[in-house]
Amino acid sequence: MNEKSNDNDTKNKNEVDDEDRRVLEDIIYKKSNTFSSDNEVFDLKTLFHLRQDRLWGAIKERYKYNTSIKRGQDYLIKHVDTKVSFVIMYADLVGSTKMSMTLPVEKLVTIVRAFSHELSSVIESSNGYVLKYAGDAVIAFFPSGFNKYLTCDNAFRCAKSMINIIRDGINPILSKHDFPSLAVKIGIDEGENIVFQYGYDKSSQIDILGYTMNVTSKITSITSPNGISVGENVFKLLHPQIQSKFKQVLFDNNDWKYIDIKTGEPYKVYGLK
């Protein structure tokens, strides 16, 4: 009876901590949500402390991550069987295959959970939604119908914050406990997608289907560790100061087969310099 009570107390404490942290992260994001070449959107020092505290607790088995796709599913259920414009983002953990062959199970599980949870937290603080977790990748969407320019800028800032938090917030804690350092590859594109539900039951999973999903997945695969790559649809909508940070990725004909549907020309991709 006491063990069950303690488990419930721990669960409730985690849920309260998650909610408190999420509120604080949202406040930090909204206070600094103005574009500036000198401003990384988040008060990174404060957010690093929040995430380091969470990760430290997870490593010491005093904290359990509570990651969910419910928020994204709740949004999508309003748009089932329709076409919707989204900015799609793939964030892929680098080197997970090697880690799965060399790390003890408990270490690998801690890394993947921390990676998924912390990136999800950044996405939601950036007004995005987590679509699903595909192994070691987090797939997210940002509704872009209202203001495509703002949404694309916002997705880029979200991606930059992800990289900074992993590099400067998570990795220092991992290194102190003999965990390998993490890196992420991020691909972003924008376009019209079909929202569909796998079953007729209201509880069945909702997903996104379309050319943009496929292109974004491929863009991510050719991105370098801790790099960001965007499709032409996104690049054209980015603020000029952000555009200046990118250069076009040049492919051999055999390496890239995606076509711009509007022009019939090879679809252009831009990588962070």
Range of the domain at 111: 2-228
Residue 106 lies inside a defined structural domain of this protein? yes
Residue 261 lies inside a defined structural domain of this protein? no
Residue 97 lies inside a defined structural domain of this protein? yes
Return the CATH number at 18.
3.30.70.1230
Write out the two tokens for 63: 């904290």
Among left, alpha and beta (phi > 0; psi -120 to 50; other), residue 244 is: alpha
pLDDT, one tens digit per residue, over 185-242 is 999 999 999 999 998 887 899 999 999 999 999 999 999 999 999 999 999 999 999 9
Residue 240 lies inside a defined structural domain of this protein? no
Per-residue pLDDT for 144 more than 50?
yes
pLDDT, one tens digit per residue, over 31-87 is 444 444 444 444 556 666 666 666 656 565 544 556 789 999 999 999 999 999 999
The count of domains in the chain is 1
Residue 251 lies inside a defined structural domain of this protein? no
Contacting residues for 118 by C-beta, under 8 A, at least 6 apart: 51, 54, 55, 165, 166, 169, 170
Which residues lie across from 186 on neighbouring strands? 91, 228
Residue 257 lies inside a defined structural domain of this protein? no
Residue 243 lies inside a defined structural domain of this protein? no
pTM over 0.85: no
pLDDT for position 26? 52
Write out the two tokens for 134: 């595909």
Residue 255 lies inside a defined structural domain of this protein? no
